[in-house]
Structure 1
Amino acid sequence: MAASNANGLDMAHSAMMAAPDDDAARMRYYARLADGMLYLMLEQETEDGAVQPVVVTLEDAQVVLAYDTEERLAATTDAPVPYAELPGRVIAAQLAGQNVALGVNLGVGEAEFLVSPEALIWLSQTLNTRPANISARPVAFEAPQGLPASLVQALEAKLARAGGLAQAALLAAVRYEDGRRSHMLAYIGAVPGAEAALTRAASEALIFSGVEAGEMDVTFLAADLPVVDRMARVAQHFDLPEPVAAPPTSPAAPGMDPSKPPKLR
């Protein structure tokens, strides 16, 4: 898992650095950073869930250090160092507003990047965006029209990490009873309780695709509803992978228990 995340982040970093004026490339990097796991270097072993990151000063900026693999973390020091394995989105949320930067892979010579305090605030706020609820009756479906490749790629990446939460997803152009037109992503056979996570995945795919003023509706449908057949005839189909079997039980890394979120201090 760590190697996969590193490869994906490396590719996103290379694309971003090769095209500094490409907003879509920059958004893809931040999306990968938020979704991946990072190894946060700590001052000491955690106590009572409190996480105290190492903070260094670089050009008058206070910087917290994180790495996308254990190997890269280990390469920066000659001695074992305590760390917390946390999702990038959790680290961004905890650091936002503390006037510190996040140094990703600093000192390893590969995929090095400094996320500024302002960028951490933006990323945290972006990840907290909540979609609005609407009530509308669809009357017609058509094949998706004019969707940028960046949105389809972002959806594929998000849904690839949603294995086991739904059977599939369908994306189609939709016309509603009141005349409004949009695009609809329908999750088919979603697991009860997974609606919020799947809605968030779709929302973030839209946001991080770089589409200006983009809009996409999300709904949840049982697999045996007649509307699913109607939609499937014209929709783009996304298969959600089967969930990966859980590894043998081992002590959880700091911050991995959702009932005990980490506290950065």
Structure 2
Amino acid sequence: MTEVDTTEIDLAHAAMVADDADDLARLRFYERLAESELFMLLEAEVEGDQISPAMFEAEDQQFVLIFDREARMSEFYGKAIAPYAALSGRGMAQMLEGQRIGMALNMGVAPSAMLVSADAVDWLAQTLGSDPEEVDGQITQVSAPTGLPDILLEALDRKLATAAGLAVEAYLCGVTYEGGARGHMLAFVGTIEGAEGALTAAVNEALVFSGIEAGMLDVAHLAGGDPVSERVAKVGLRFDLPTPQMPGSSNGQPGANPGMDPTKPPKLH
């Protein structure tokens, strides 16, 4: 094997296989898989928005070949430059959903090599694609958050670290609604236009992958400087969202462009 630094997927995979009964470790592996940029080996260079994945059959099922490092893909392919589509694990699962195709991860080139079945791919796509429910309620009081498990706070911290530039900051606080119902709310301040859905979905994923059964967390998007944002800033637990890095220039490598725009996913051919 070519020497490649240990990746987050390697670490998450090792934790998962160390204890088959650890459901949380399994969830965290799939969280890492969803958030990572993956490289799908293709039969040929991309034509428009059509891609032809290289596939093989195992256990009476078809699998696409995916890798979490270009170097690992090149080692498997046997040449320095391979035709590929770069896409997040989230986008890849959603592209494959319902087609009875699994993912063959890092086969033969990493300790995290494994077959992700078509059923697991469908589950991941459906989990990531579940829409949070919209609720209406008049907040009568905000307070400091209490009683939330550390595992949820850690999941939120990890998830919000991937949301660079979508909002300025977020505050987790307790809320009381008109009628007496109580709960918790994550209030984003300074959300950029159009990012509300992505941030709300990120919070939903943090709940799912934290392993908390029947977990609920309300989400609000506030303008900076208004009375409500000032109230939550006084009592809430603050999360700072990272500042986005300046985009780098394209390296011009063949196959490097498809799938990077989440609004225009490639189509299987």
With structure 1 as the length reference, what TM-score do the two structures score? 0.93
User: Hey, what does 1:260 align to over in structure 2?
Assistant: 264
Of stretches 255-264 and 109-118 in structure 1, the one that deviates more from structure 2 is 255-264
1:250 CA drift (Å): 5.1
What is the DSSP-based 3-state SS (H/G/I as helix, E as strand, rest coil) of the residue aligned with 1:233?
Answer: helix
User: Hey, what does 1:51 align to over in structure 2?
Assistant: 51
CA distance in 1, matches of 2:235, 2:72: 46
1:238 CA drift (Å): 0.2
User: Hey, what does 1:77 align to over in structure 2?
Assistant: 77
CA distance in 1, matches of 2:245, 2:33: 21
1:92 CA drift (Å): 0.8
User: Hey, what does 1:182 align to over in structure 2?
Assistant: 183
1:76 CA drift (Å): 1.2
CA distance in 2, matches of 1:145, 1:175: 13
Q: CA RMSD in A?
A: 1.8
Deviations 1:121-178 (A, max 9, x none): 1111111100111111112222222222221111111111111111100001111112
1:3-152 alignment, distance < 5 Å: 7-79=7-79, 80-152=81-153
Unaligned runs of 5+ in 2: none
Paired AA for residue 31 in structure 1: E
Evaluate the alpha carbon distance shift between residue 156 and residue 234 of structure 1 in structure 2; reply closer, same or farther with a 3 A threshold. Answer: same
**Dislocated runs of 4+, deviation >4 Å:** 249-252
CA distance in 1, matches of 2:199, 2:134: 14
CA distance in 1, matches of 2:248, 2:82: 24
What is the DSSP-based 3-state SS (H/G/I as helix, E as strand, rest coil) of the residue aligned with 1:187?
Answer: strand
1:64 CA drift (Å): 1.1
Paired AA for residue 144 in structure 2: A
What is the DSSP-based 3-state SS (H/G/I as helix, E as strand, rest coil) of the residue aligned with 1:26?
Answer: helix
Evaluate the alpha carbon distance shift between residue 201 and residue 259 of structure 1 in structure 2; reply closer, same or farther with a 3 A threshold. Answer: closer
CA distance in 2, matches of 1:24, 1:142: 30
Question: Would you say the 8 A contact 2:53–2:64 is kept in 1?
Answer: yes
Paired AA for residue 117 in structure 2: S
CA distance in 1, matches of 2:231, 2:262: 39
CA distance in 1, matches of 2:263, 2:195: 17
What is the DSSP-based 3-state SS (H/G/I as helix, E as strand, rest coil) of the residue aligned with 2:124?
Answer: helix
Unaligned runs of 5+ in 1: none
What is the DSSP-based 3-state SS (H/G/I as helix, E as strand, rest coil) of the residue aligned with 2:247?
Answer: coil
The percentage of counterpart residues that share the same residue type is: 46
1:163-174 alignment, distance < 5 Å: 163-174=164-175
CA distance in 2, matches of 1:109, 1:135: 48
1:193 CA drift (Å): 1.4
Paired AA for residue 189 in structure 1: G
What is the DSSP-based 3-state SS (H/G/I as helix, E as strand, rest coil) of the residue aligned with 1:81?
Answer: coil
With structure 2 as the length reference, what TM-score do the two structures score? 0.91
1:91 CA drift (Å): 1.2
1:260 CA drift (Å): 3.4
Question: Would you say the 8 A contact 1:40–1:53 is kept in 2?
Answer: yes
User: Hey, what does 1:241 align to over in structure 2?
Assistant: 242
Question: Would you say the 8 A contact 1:143–1:234 is kept in 2?
Answer: yes
Question: Would you say the 8 A contact 1:24–1:150 is kept in 2?
Answer: no
